[in-house]
Structure 1
């Protein structure tokens, strides 16, 4: 089975219908999803690389399996027994472990499940875990942490003290990044693609996808990453589009920032 940018249309409709108020369960579904035989569409891979800044190679970018698994994740999070509407969830952290280079011609088998429903200062958070295997061996794994905000919660952003590092690069992020990444990722959340939709969720304009910003950082580090590693990021303040942001990297740590931090990450050899 080949997965590409058009595989989430039904999931998008279910996500919108999920905004209709209804009684929801209080716990995460005690089940998982699996999808076997996933092959890479080379044209889609090239389009993804262009949007995120990766070079065209026969090796999958470290964030690309996240995109391949996104239709499966959307199917899972739009289940009737899922406790939160998927539109409105905030992606606050992501950890990816790359066990080694993954050839673009490999056939991948994905498994997915949720865990660790727990309180957060601004609502409730949980983890979505995805694993990719080739010939039965895990080659890639990811844990995404999502926040469901409570109406009674406080402000949206972390306002702790922060000192800007020395920038190693300055990036101009055009307004089209939201729609371009939506096209290659299948994540068409209106906060990324529609100024009206963004305003409905409290943003002055569209914002960049968090996973685009992580991918852009790792694209900037191509050739400097170990063969096997874990890369953890926390998504801070959103990048409101268009934007000019700074990138800093040193000692395995990296950051995107403006007047305040947008993303903070760390690479650890596995």
Structure 2
């Protein structure tokens, strides 16, 4: 059964869901990196072809485990409708296609949020028993109106490039990431879930921004990203950076779609 069929079934009233996150951890051991898939990912996101894993690539490798966890009936919310709002990545040592990876995924910190409830998904990658990469992704379950809107004009680096995004980005990224959420793939699929048209995968937007700085960022460190608004497809967006901050914004208004910080 596909993950999105399980996700759709999760919307059906098939019993009461628990009011807590599952306590178990899902794991995958001794995972080999598929070089052909890595090359396709590099092309779709704008990275140079090579054996080095981009800092966002382990997120793709863990996607199946994350979806297995979040589509289970023991999870407190249906996965459909959840918003990926932030992502924190720690690269503790460079990873390459030669490494054999052990993955671990679990959910933590269910908490209240002004717009509903929020929780985190932690992913850890170890190589030969040593933690090499980890991430924490925050997801929001909207249960009420947002109330007073926050200021949408943070201090951002000035735009230095303009990108034209085509509708093909959605299916191309889905093919390499395994994330076939219909909101990214078609107008009909997007409208079925309340969007006027298809939107980019947030992790594609982050990967594309980091690819623009490839070779200029340290090979280890922390990346903290906030997905502030959906990026429509097709669209034109601006990109700006001072090497410590990244921003993908709407031309003309300067409203941010993505903001990120990179540091040690």
On whether the aligned pair clears a TM of 0.5, the verdict is yes
Q: Which moved more, 1:214-223 or 1:189-198?
A: 189-198
Tell me, yes or no, if structure 1 residue 207 matches structure 2 residue 199.
Answer: yes
| Among candidates 167, 170, 173, match of residue 178 of structure 1 | 170
Structure 2 CA distance for aligned equivalents of residues 244 and 75 of structure 1: 34
- The equivalent residue for 2:232 is 240
Gaps of 5+ in 2: none
- The equivalent residue for 1:169 is 161
Contact 2:217 2:243 in 1 (8 A): no
Contact 1:191 1:207 in 2 (8 A): yes
Q: Note closer, same or farther for the CA distance 1:106–1:204 as it changes in structure 2 (3 Å cut).
A: same
Tell me, yes or no, if structure 1 residue 263 matches structure 2 residue 258.
Answer: yes
Structure 2 CA distance for aligned equivalents of residues 96 and 18 of structure 1: 29
CA deviations 1:228-259 (Å, max 9, x no partner) are: 10000000111011011001101501100003
Tell me the CA shift for residue 227 of structure 1.
2.4
- The equivalent residue for 2:94 is 101
- The equivalent residue for 1:46 is 39
Match runs of 1:35-114 below 5 Å: 35-114=28-107
Gaps of 5+ in 1: 1-8
3-state DSSP of counterpart to 1:184: helix
Aligned length: 260
3-state DSSP of counterpart to 2:40: helix
Structure 2 CA distance for aligned equivalents of residues 166 and 234 of structure 1: 18
- The equivalent residue for 1:253 is 245
- The equivalent residue for 2:186 is 194
Q: Note closer, same or farther for the CA distance 1:14–1:52 as it changes in structure 2 (3 Å cut).
A: same
TM-score by length of 1: 0.92
Tell me the CA shift for residue 163 of structure 1.
5.9
Structure 1 CA distance for aligned equivalents of residues 5 and 34 of structure 2: 24
3-state DSSP of counterpart to 1:221: coil
Tell me the CA shift for residue 58 of structure 1.
1.4
Q: Note closer, same or farther for the CA distance 1:157–1:235 as it changes in structure 2 (3 Å cut).
A: farther
| Among candidates 108, 117, 120, match of residue 127 of structure 1 | 120
TM-score by length of 2: 0.94
Contact 2:156 2:245 in 1 (8 A): no
Structure 2 CA distance for aligned equivalents of residues 104 and 156 of structure 1: 47
Contact 2:153 2:256 in 1 (8 A): no
CA deviations 1:18-46 (Å, max 9, x no partner) are: 12124211110111111101111111111
- The equivalent residue for 1:4 is none
Contact 1:122 1:156 in 2 (8 A): no
- The equivalent residue for 1:224 is 216
